[in-house]
Amino acid sequence: MTEMALEKRNISNSRLVLGCMSLGGGWNRNRITKEDMIKAERAIDAALSIEINMFDHADIYKLGKAEEVFGQTLKGRQHLREQIVIQTKCGLRIGEGGLKYYDFSKEHILNAVDGSLKRLGTDYIDILLLHRPDPLMEVEEVAAAFEYLNRTGKVKHFGVSNMNKAQIELLKQAVSLPFVANQIELSLSHVHWVEEGIYVNQAYGAQVNFPEELLAYCRKEQIQIQAWSPLAKGLFSGNLKGKEPQQVLHTAELVQRMAQEKGTTCEAIVLAWLMRHPANIQPIIGTINPERIRACKDAGEQARSLTRQEWYALFKSARGREMP
C-alpha cells in the first residue's frame, strides 16, 4: 500500500479503498432488495479485480443497510474475510426529527461496534474511526471504549476522521493505542478540513490548497491520511453540469488531455494528483459503479510517473492562479 502507518502495521496493502456509503439502497428503513445485493456484489468484485482489498463503512451509512448488504455478501464468501480489511466509523447519530448529532460516549461507541459487527457478520473490525469531531467528547470515555474493544479482540486498530492536529493531540493524552488513520475530504477540486474545530468547506472553483500543517503532522506521527470524495463526484472525469467556473472547465480539459497522452483514464489522473503527494494519501473511492471503479486501476502507476511540473499544472489550473 504505502510507506505510512497502515503498511508498517501490516493492516492493508491496498493503495485505494472502496467507500461503501452508496451500498444498501436508499436512506430509509426499507428492506434490502435483490437489486441492492447485486449492486453490492458487482461493486465488491470490481474492487477486488483491481486489487482493492480495503472497504470503508460507517454505522450510519444508509441507516445501517450498507454494512448489512456487505455482510450478506461476505456470508456467501467465507474465504474472503481474511483477505480484506474492513474499516467502519461510529459517533454520528440521527435523533428525533432527523436531528444529526455526535456521541463519543463509551456506551455509544461499544453499542455501535456491536451493531456493526452483527450487520457485517464478522467477529472483528480491522479499523474503527471516530466519525467527525464531537464537541462534547470526553477523552477518558473514548480511551476506555477503545481499550476494551482492543482487549476483547473486537477492534484491531483505531483512527479518526475530519480531525485537526489539536483534536488528535487531545485524544492522544488519554488514548494509549496508536491512531493509524485520519480521514478527511481531499480532492483536486476542493479541500474540506477542520481548522480550530470549525469545518471549512471550499466550493468548487474556489482556492485549492492542502491543509499542509495537518498533513505534515500526520506524516510525522505515522497517521495515514485517507481522502474521502477524492474524485470530486466525477467533476473532472465526465460529470460536468455545464455551470462550473472557468477554472473547473479548464482543469477538466487538462485532465482529459493528460489521460489521453498517458493512455489512461481521467479517474486515474485525478487520483494520481492526490497520491503523488509525499503524505502517501490513500483515496477512498465513493462510487459503486463497477466501470468507474475499474477506471481507477492505473492511479498508483500514474502517481509514480506524475512529474512535479504536471502536478503543479493541475494545481494551478484548479486553483485558478499561480502558487504564491
Residues catalogued as catalytic: 61
* Distances from the Cα of 237 to the Cα of 241, 266, 286, angstroms: 12, 5, 14
CA distance 186 to 312: 16
- Paired sense of beta strands 155-161 and 125-130, if any: parallel
With 0-12 / 13-18 / 19 or more C-beta atoms within 10 angstroms meaning exposed / middle / buried, residue 128 is buried
Instruction: Show the cell assigned to 175.
Output: 488514548
> Reduced to 3 states, what is the DSSP secondary structure of residue 105?
coil
Query: Which of 95, 104, 37, 106 lies closest to 63 in space, CA to CA?
Result: 95
Place of cell 474492487: 47
- Host H or E run for residue 37: helix 34-49
CB atoms within 10 A of CB 287: 19
